[in-house]
Every structure is written in C-alpha cells, then in structure tokens.
Structure 1
Amino acid sequence: MGRSHVVAEKQRLLNRVRRLRGQVDALERALIADEAYNDVMRLVTATRGAINGIMAEVINGHIRTHMVDPNRAPSQSERNAADELVSVLRTYLR
C-alpha cells in the first residue's frame, strides 16, 4: 500500500506538474527578458503556490490513506481529526 494514494491521483498530480513546468518556463523567460521586478515576483509567487498545491495534495493523500485507514472504517472523530489536519496544512501551505 506504500504509494497507493499517489498512484490513484497520478493524472491529477501530473497535470499539476505540467502547469508548474509552464510557470517555471514563464519565470525563466521573464528573467531572460529582464522584465520588471513586480512581474518576476508575481511569477515566483505563482510558482511557489503551485508547488505548495502539489505538496498539499500529496500530504492529503498520505493522511487519508496511511493515518486514517479507509479499509478499517475510521470513526467520526478520526475522520474529523484528519479533516482538521488537512485544513491546517492547506492553510500553512498557502
């Protein structure tokens, strides 16, 4: 069961990585073209947000697959705790 959450969400994660690649490419082009500081910072911020989004998805899958075993029918309090942890992590990664 090691990486099952990643495999299950593989296409979604790959789509995020492809968008991230586009953002990094845009950042590179902006630096090469000596674009304005504000434009470069906007691209850096967008890229950081994209990486944080991927991280949040992977952590969410890990929590829901390994910390709260769906095969064991977790209790409501376990599901609530997992939801709260995911919410805190998403807030932190923004």
Structure 2
Amino acid sequence: MSHTLRDKDKLLARVRRLRGQMDGIERALLAEAPCSEVLRQLASARGAMNGLTAEVMEDHLREHVLEADSEPERRQAVEEMIEVIRSYLK
C-alpha cells in the first residue's frame, strides 16, 4: 500500500487546514486588511505547504527508496524524487 493511501486521512487534514488558511488570506484581502497581516498569513500558509511537501517527500524516500524491493525500483524512485526536487526549487 502506498504511503499516501496509508496516511490519507492525515494528509487530507493538512490539505484542509491549508485550504482554510488560503480562505483566510482571501478574506483578509477582501476586507482590505493591513499588508502586514496578509503577509503573516501568507508566510503561515507557505510554511504549512512546505511542511506537507516535506512530509510526502520523506515518506516517498522511506517507502520507495529505503524499502524498495529491487534496485530498478529504487533507481526509479530516486529519479522521481530528483524530478520533484528540481521542479520544487524552480
């Protein structure tokens, strides 16, 4: 079973919190909140997104690299992670 399926409830809870943060940013903008407040909310949402990304990356490495059944599987998982990291850092 894939780690995203096994941890689905936990990951979805984090996504829902992120959605709530994004809704809060939208409300702040609509209410013409001070830019410092909007910036704090943006930083918080960014941190939450980075945390979620790090968790999924870590689980991917643990399950598909460390626990891989074969060398070809391990190589494929590493290549996938390299591609994800490159796109993440753009």
Partner residue, 2:60: 62
Counterpart selection for 2:7 from 9, 12, 17: 9
Partner of 2:44: 46
- Post-superposition shift, 1:53? 1.1
Structure 1 runs of 4+ aligned residues shifted over 2 Å read none
Give the fraction of aligned pairs with identical amino acids, expressed as a percent.
Answer: 47
Q: Structure 1: which 5+ residue stretches go unaligned? A: 73-94
- The corresponding residue for 1:32 is 30
* Mapped partners of 2:68, 2:42: distance in 1: 37
TM-score normalised according to structure 1 size = 0.69
Q: Greater RCO between the two (CA within 8 Å, min separation 6)?
A: 1
Q: Which residue of 1 aligns with 2:84?
A: none
Measured in 2, the distance between the counterparts of 1:11 and 1:57 equals 14
TM-score, normalised to structure 2, is 0.72
Gapped runs of 5+ residues in structure 2? 71-90
Q: Supply the distance in 1 between the matched residues of 2:14 and 2:24 (Cα, whole angstroms).
A: 15
Equivalent pairs counted in the alignment come to: 70
